[in-house]
Structure 1
């Protein structure tokens, strides 16, 4: 597929000093693997109201197709594309779907066809990082420019508001907690990591919505066989546990069998484990090949004509992706997807900037936009976050 024609532009825009100090305090100006600050403070992406609305529509259209696909998988009990060997995990997915458990949040990553049509690259539906940046921090950045609103500009960003609405819909019982990975302090609490940043934000929005949600390290989560429940760092049984820990990791652990007797409600909903697997993109393409927002995708390399990329089915943000004419991982299940190049821009100081646009989902609704960029054609969790401005119609 030839170069993308994105409906947005990259503009030089220096972040005001007071907000730069805020970013520095949060550790968001620390250099990433490219030697550049994680938060891009010298530029922004600018998009018009009409193309932004079209992106939200595309994401919600895809979300509806995702639900139809999950319904078919559960009805047929055909989990073969996902290589889920655990019967307990399959049962948890089925029970979660049949109980109509609501999703909490996720992130759809897009590139664009030559005619500007958005094309889904990935759906990070199982605890993606970058939520606080795309939500309240991006809005604080916008408010640091007093003249912006006077000129009619805004931001496509209702993530915070939609989270406040979504929390009560989950109907969580008392004694709920959110667990995150990364470093752990001596008392079992989460250390200062990107996951904790996300966990603290989620806990705060839950509290504002009237939902009490504690915070603990995933390493401190235990199992009470008598109560048949997961426990927090105080060894107290939990009614609900929101984990920033991929479902597919649990499948590789002995305690996956606890899912069959577990009384703790685990979030995100178990059925979203299917959405987060790259193999789901092949399922979507098989079921909905006429959807304009999907790229040809298959678990069989020979089924994808022309240039294609290879992605580990259980890989996270940008992990293990092989571009056309590159060798790819052997042994791991792979998704093969028609290559759709990321939009390319020339950044300041002669740097290349490959931009990935994301639509953040809250529940089944599109909630806002986020941009990330890298100096190479693949973005991952460590690449730069770039704020955006919504131009008036």
Structure 2
């Protein structure tokens, strides 16, 4: 299809300032039937249900789930990789208690009740709530076999702006019939619901609540800033005051023992910044200690630490396979996966992925014991997982065969829409291209 007149300027006006002229593929599109979209939506909803069960399973292996153990000294080691999946994932032990607490505080119905004798100063019957807003399943799908999970970007996924806004504008201007794209409205509703529940749990929050949105200024393309700013706008449309800040502007007031921006306490912060970076940095321990005590009125972080520790870690993949690989209904959305040291000898074709990795870095593909593709990177110190090799499908383009990954967006635990990235190689890296899609049964 022909390019839109002035499409570059229009995309930039909508916030796609990080396009180097090759990221957005104008003139191309992927076409789906309504039945295919329904299959993707069902797969995403089923995967989310499985992830919830996997989160419960991971937490159940951690000795610090026991409140009597959680009350021990801050650094008293009780978790080892042979018994605790969080330790095996590479989550530092001082973070385990807050991963568990924020996971269990997922809704008003499951509020935990602190025990003053066990947890050092919590008032009895102190509820809390740890909001979570969005995430992205990356799926392999060829239209013939069921969609299968490649990984879950559960804490800091980007490409949201182009999926929710830019490709919708493209649809309006090209007259496309339809698109799976309800992200914007669902995000506005998610902020409204989650912040209302947070007020119920923390009635001391100011009546005129300001939600701060923080991003990492070291990412110079503008991608992190604009994705964060877009989420900020959806929160503003939900009726809340917002402010965009840099992660480096967040400080620790040692006298008041609180997180601050300038001289103001931070009540609620959305941070497009990985927890696995944060808890290894100098300020990580104070942040975890600050959010540990609801009665202290500490800062609420969105997304909460469990998003990275339980779902944003590729250790989730072998846990899902262990729990659901034999389930004929749910297992069909999974690829066989193991921790690297547990790979069966007969599995000689696989993807080797670091537990903590981003944008395809430090990833290798092996076919019949022979390297097929690899991407260098800095990750892998905490270990790797192995996932059965399932090469991405290939679709023709003027530039040769391209391999798409379907990013299905989840908002408040519900499938909300899709964005597609494609690349010439079998490993989707940060130089992939974004391609819009339509639904057309004609």
- The TM-score bracket by the shorter chain reads 0.7 to 0.9
Say whether the 8 Å CA contact 1:298–1:335 is kept in structure 2: yes
Residue deviations 1:48-103, cap 9 Å, x none? 1111111011011111111111122223323233121232x111111111211342
Higher RCO (CA < 8 A, seq sep 6+): 1
Closer, same or farther: CA 75–330 of 1 in aligned 2, 3 Å: closer
Trace 1:315-334 onto structure 2 (pairs within 5 A). 315-324=357-366, 325-326=370-371, 331-334=381-384
Structure 2 residues not aligned, in runs of 5+: 63-83, 107-129, 199-204, 292-297
How far apart, in 2, do the equivalents of 1:124 and 1:330 lie? 17
Contact 1:86 1:256 in 2 (8 A): no
Q: Describe the SS at the equivalent of 2:316.
A: helix
Equivalenced residue count is: 362
Partner SS, residue 310 of structure 1: strand
1:331, distance to aligned residue in structure 2 (A): 4.1
Query: How far apart are the structure 2 equivalents of 1:161 and 1:239?
Result: 25
Segments of 5+ residues of structure 1 without an aligned counterpart are: 1-12, 32-36, 185-190
Question: Which residue, 201, 205, 209 being the options, matches 2:234?
Answer: 205
The one-character-per-residue Cα deviations of 1:139-196 (angstroms, maximum 9, x if unpaired) are 01100023x3xxxx20000000100110022225523201101349xxxxxx771011
TM-aligned CA distance change 1:86 to 1:277, over 3 Å = same
The CA deviation at 1:346 is 1.7
Match of residue 260, structure 1, among 271, 286, 289: 289
Matched, 1:278 2:284: no
Q: TM-score, normalised by structure 1?
A: 0.86
Partner residue, 1:7:
none
Q: How does 1:47-126 map to 2 (within 5 A)?
A: 47-77=32-62, 78=84, 79-87=86-94, 89-100=95-106, 101-112=130-141, 115-126=144-155
Structure 2 residue 162 is matched with structure 1 residue 162: no
2:356 corresponds to which residue? 314
Equivalent positions of 1:1-393 (< 5 A) are 13-24=1-12, 26-31=16-21, 37-77=22-62, 78=84, 79-87=86-94, 89-100=95-106, 101-112=130-141, 115-146=144-175, 148=176, 153-171=177-195, 173=205, 174-183=209-218, 193-232=222-261, 234-258=262-286, 259-262=288-291, 263-273=298-308, 274-289=310-325, 290=327, 291-304=331-344, 305-324=347-366, 325-326=370-371, 331-348=381-398, 350-392=399-441
State the shift of 1:271 in Å: 1.4
State the superposition RMSD in angstroms.
Answer: 2.1
SS of equivalent to 1:345? coil
**Deviation, structure 1 residue 125:** 0.6
Please tell me whether Structure 1 or Structure 2 has the larger radius of gyration of its CA atoms: 2
Q: 1:45 to 1:260 in 2, by over 3 A?
A: same
The alpha carbon displacement at 1:219 in A equals 1.3
